[in-house]
């Protein structure tokens, strides 16, 4: 298990999600029935980098100071974990980038579907991915627009800035396609596809899939969500705004990769956005997009804060990053080679088989030698013992 390079002391004096949960999650558990995956996430975040998960003790060979490092929970919903996994993901995606423009496309679900998604997250999230991907690939294959195979990477987001439900997928899409005969087709007119047309096709594909799910009994219906199963409910969904947004990244695809990378291996918010914690409230920062992206502070009752956070815990094993077209796993190696040949670019340097070590990662990202004593900054730290977990670690 990974250990934080500075141990538990690094977080003292800062407000963290773990502190919010340790203070208020017991009362929330007592008052609410949680899904198993939500319960596991809460327990993991509460225990992350504490004595509960165990760790090891190191001593500086020069000054003799001790450092206690505790293990990470490695739960994908923990804001303190997954940084190394994110950097490895970004490195792999950079190796797949083609020397062509890319577009950033966002497909959003109407908020009318929020309640249905809460009771059926796996079905609704899967439909969102499929409808958005099928729409893009269909437009790419249409000779009116391109007439070939796009490359698409999608990341699911379920939250807005204030932790409310805002279901959407971000897509990084090649502005061009690989033709059946192997040449590269460039888009015409400096844009990818008309967003109004994308929106209509996306809406139709999603609602057709939703009807199939209703008809097959794949959806759990209760309360207001039951009304969506009838013809009137589906007609109301057709009348909702189905927003599709498309924009070419100003600084190239690397800009969108960095943006997506902030959300690929965590959910909802970072610890840096938390401002304060009291016996009753949690305060955190957010961007108000309706007011020109002004930064504001919101106060939420602690139980409401936890409720909102748990809205974004993913179903067990659900893949929130998916690849399509040229980047689909079945044919990615062959098709990317064809695309590079069509664009007359060499094959990139292969990614090392052995993943980057934790030591090398921290040295590269933070210029931090995790084996150097933080007190005297000269002596090496040497492990002298292990710390047994205080209890069995939480499931991941």
Q: Say if residue 72 is in the same domain as residue 105.
A: no
Burial class (CB in 10 A: 0-12, 13-18, 19+), 307: middle
**Angle, vertex CA 69, rays to CA 68 and CA 73, nearest 5:** 145
**Alpha helix stretches (DSSP H) within 74-184:** 83-96, 114-119, 121-141
Residue 289 lies in a domain: no
Q: pLDDT tens for residues 176-208?
A: 999 999 999 998 877 889 999 999 999 999 999
Q: Where are the beta strands (DSSP E) in the chain?
A: 55-60, 66-70, 102-108, 151-159, 165-174, 177-178, 184-185, 244-247, 274-277, 281-288, 294-301, 321-325, 381-387
Residue 330 lies in a domain: yes
DSSP string, 198-209: HHHHHHHHHHHH
Q: pLDDT tens for residues 106-132?
A: 999 999 999 999 999 999 999 999 999
Q: What are phi and psi for residue 66, nearest 5 degrees?
A: -100, 145
Q: pLDDT tens for residues 29-80?
A: 999 999 999 999 999 999 999 999 999 999 999 999 999 889 989 898 998 8
Q: Say if residue 198 is in the same domain as residue 334.
A: yes
Q: Say if residue 172 is in the same domain as residue 27.
A: no
Q: Are 238 and 143 in contact (CB under 8 A)?
A: no
If we measure between CA atoms, which residue out of 52, 51, 21 comes closest to residue 38?
21
If we measure between CA atoms, which residue out of 196, 176, 173 comes closest to residue 103?
173
Three-class SS state of 44: helix
Residue 361 lies in a domain: no
Better-predicted residue by pLDDT, 2 or 14: 14
Q: Say if residue 107 is in the same domain as residue 215.
A: yes
State the chain's mean pLDDT as an integer. 87
Q: Say if residue 204 is in the same domain as residue 141.
A: yes
Average pLDDT over residues 304-313: 96
Q: Which of 177-186, 371-380, 384-393 has the lowest mean pLDDT?
A: 384-393
**Angle, vertex CA 75, rays to CA 73 and CA 77, nearest 5:** 130
Average pLDDT over residues 76-90: 83
Q: Say if residue 121 is in the same domain as residue 243.
A: yes
Q: Say if residue 122 is in the same domain as residue 182.
A: yes
Better-predicted residue by pLDDT, 230 or 146: 146
Q: Are 19 and 277 in contact (CB under 8 A)?
A: yes
Q: Which of 8-22, 45-59, 339-353 has the lowest mean pLDDT?
A: 8-22
Q: Say if residue 46 is in the same domain as residue 190.
A: no
- Spacing of C-alpha 321 from chain mean position: 7
Q: pLDDT tens for residues 293-305?
A: 899 999 999 999 9
Q: Say if residue 195 is in the same domain as residue 336.
A: yes
Average pLDDT over residues 328-347: 88
Q: Are 187 and 179 in contact (CB under 8 A)?
A: no
The pair of structure tokens assigned to 211 is 């009807």
Residue 84 lies in a domain: no
> How many whole angstroms separate alpha carbon 15 and alpha carbon 189?
49
Q: Say if residue 150 is in the same domain as residue 54.
A: no
User: What domain range includes position 223?
Assistant: 99-268+312-342
Beta strands at 102-108 and 165-174: parallel, antiparallel or unpaired: antiparallel
Q: Say if residue 36 is in the same domain as residue 65.
A: yes
Residue 307 lies in a domain: no
Cβ neighbour number for residue 268 with a 10 Å cutoff: 21
Q: Which residues pair with 324 in a beta bridge?
A: 152
Residue 151 has pLDDT above 50, yes or no: yes
Q: pLDDT tens for residues 236-252?
A: 899 988 999 998 776 67
Residue 54 lies in a domain: yes
Strand order through the sheet with 281-288: 274-277, 281-288, 294-301
Q: Are 8 and 50 in contact (CB under 8 A)?
A: yes
Q: Say if residue 185 is in the same domain as residue 320.
A: yes
Res 59: pLDDT: 92
Please identify which residue in the block is written with the tokens 């990053």: 321
Residue 319 lies in a domain: yes
Q: Which of 19-33, 91-105, 234-248, 325-339 has the lowest mean pLDDT?
A: 91-105
- Assessment of whether the complete model's pTM goes beyond 0.85: yes
Residue 4 has pLDDT above 50, yes or no: no
Q: Are 116 and 219 in contact (CB under 8 A)?
A: yes
Query: How many domains does the chain divide into?
Result: 2
Three-class SS state of 25: helix
């Amino acid at each position: 298990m990974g250990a934080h390079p500075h141990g538990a002391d690094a977080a003292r004096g800062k407000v963290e999600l773990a502190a919010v949960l340790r203070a208020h999650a017991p009362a929330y558990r007592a008052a609410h029935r949680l899904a198993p995956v939500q319960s596991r996430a809460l327990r993991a975040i509460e225990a992350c980098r504490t004595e509960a998960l165990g760790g090891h003790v190191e001593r500086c060979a020069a000054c003799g100071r001790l450092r206690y490092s505790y293990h990470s929970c490695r739960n994908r919903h923990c804001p303190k974990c997954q940084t190394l996994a994110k950097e490895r993901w970004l490195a792999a995606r950079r190796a797949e980038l083609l020397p062509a423009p890319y577009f950033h496309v966002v497909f959003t679900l109407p908020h009318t579907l929020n309640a249905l998604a809460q009771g059926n997250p796996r079905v609704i999230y899967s439909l969102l991915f499929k409808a958005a991907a099928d729409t893009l690939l269909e437009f790419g294959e249409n000779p009116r627009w391109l007439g070939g195979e796009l490359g698409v990477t999608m990341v699911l987001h379920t939250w807005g800035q204030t932790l409310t439900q805002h279901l959407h997928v971000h897509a990084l899409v090649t502005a061009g396609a690989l033709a059946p005969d192997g040449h590269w087709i460039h888009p015409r007119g400096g844009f990818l596809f008309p967003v109004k047309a994308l929106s209509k096709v996306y809406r139709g594909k999603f609602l057709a899939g939703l009807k199939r799910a209703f008809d097959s009994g794949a959806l759990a219906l209760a309360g207001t969500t039951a009304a969506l199963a009838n013809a009137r409910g589906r007609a109301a969904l057709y009348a909702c705004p189905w927003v599709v947004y498309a924009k070419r990244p100003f600084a190239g695809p690397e800009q969108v990769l960095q943006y997506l990378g902030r959300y690929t291996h965590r959910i909802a918010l970072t610890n840096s956005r938390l401002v304060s914690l009291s016996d009753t409230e949690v305060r955190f920062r957010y961007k108000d997009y309706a007011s020109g992206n002004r930064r504001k502070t919101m106060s939420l009752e602690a139980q409401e804060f936890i409720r909102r956070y748990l809205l974004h815990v993913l179903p067990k094993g659900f893949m929130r990053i998916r690849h399509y077209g040229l980047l689909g796993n079945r044919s990615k190696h062959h098709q990317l080679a064809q695309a590079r040949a069509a664009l007359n670019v060499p094959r990139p340097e292969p990614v090392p088989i052995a993943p980057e070590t934790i030591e090398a990662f921290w040295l590269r990202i933070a210029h931090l030698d995790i084996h150097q004593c933080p007190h005297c900054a000269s002596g090496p730290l040497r492990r002298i013992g292990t710390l047994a977990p205080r209890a069995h670690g939480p499931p991941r």
